Amino acid sequence: MTVQYRDLPFKEAIAFFRNKVNLPSGRWTDVWKASHDSAFMVAGAAKADLLNDLRAAVDEAISQGTTLETFRGRFDETVEKTGWEYRGGRGWRTRVIYETNLRTAYAAGRHAQLTDPDLLRVRPFWRYLHGGSRDPRPEHLAWDGMVLRADDPWWNEHYPPNGWGCSCKVVAVSQADLKRLGKDQPDQAPAVSRRPWQDTTGARQEDVPVGVDPGWNYAPGRSVAERTRRTVERKRSVLPGILADAMMAEIAAALLRRPGDLE
């Protein structure tokens, strides 16, 4: 299933992506789990100009909603210009870069919205929704419709996407919504079974939750959101109301600027 977010711009997703720093890498395991919140990487892309061009193409897709085919055109231009000899077929490689970055940015943006204290006060539960894949993982189907408290530890490793190509999502649920779903209380989190995994080089070894692909057992945006919220709230709490509001407006504006606008 091709991922396209035509309703962008999604300011939280854009801000999440633009706050990353470029990180040269050799293998996809070089940047692991929540480290992706702070680093933009493409496996095998080690040169600055290559990363800059790929990042610009991904930024355009996230901020303007450009299609996979448009991204592929930008990708081809970059490969021709830089002489990058990437691994894997063009179709597969471009889809992975495009969909992985869009889906994680979208998930991080949703996480920022869902964890807003004002929203959590009225919608303290999260509902897992299967993305409708034509080749679904059985675990993701089993989790479809499940409602847990937003602070349930289960989400720390199962907040979607939960693997390559996963299009599952989370929506906020109120107490009234819970009743309408025929539930008197949130569900009990499933028991977590784990399987041993290591990459082909042996550099990464981990017991991965069943139903989650290796490296995907984290909540995109969670580490950044928590760190940012603590810092901002600490600064905001010591300012008068007018200055606090002005600070928040300036932060929002700065996060939405294109990288080139800051030069």
For residue 167, give the nearest of 107, 219, 94 by alpha carbon.
107
Angle at 226 between CA 183 and CA 219, to 5 degrees: 55
Domain extents in the chain: 1-114+221-263, 116-219
| pLDDT for position 263 | 31
AA letter at 135: D
For residue 150, give the nearest of 169, 126, 168 by alpha carbon.
126
| pLDDT for position 201 | 87
Q: In this structure, are residues 4 and 68 in contact, taking their beta carbons and an 8 Å threshold?
A: yes
Tell me what percent of the chain is helix, strand and coil, each rounded to the nearest 5. 50, 10, 40
pLDDT along the chain (263 residues), means of 10: 59 93 93 93 95 97 95 97 95 97 96 93 97 90 97 97 96 97 97 95 93 97 68 62 66 50 36
- Model-level pTM? 0.82
| pLDDT for position 241 | 72
Q: In this structure, are residues 106 and 4 in contact, taking their beta carbons and an 8 Å threshold?
A: no
CA distance 65 to 68: 9
CA distance 252 to 244: 13
Q: In this structure, are residues 217 and 166 in contact, taking their beta carbons and an 8 Å threshold?
A: no
| pLDDT for position 260 | 40
For residue 157, give the nearest of 221, 218, 225 by alpha carbon.
218
| pLDDT for position 262 | 35
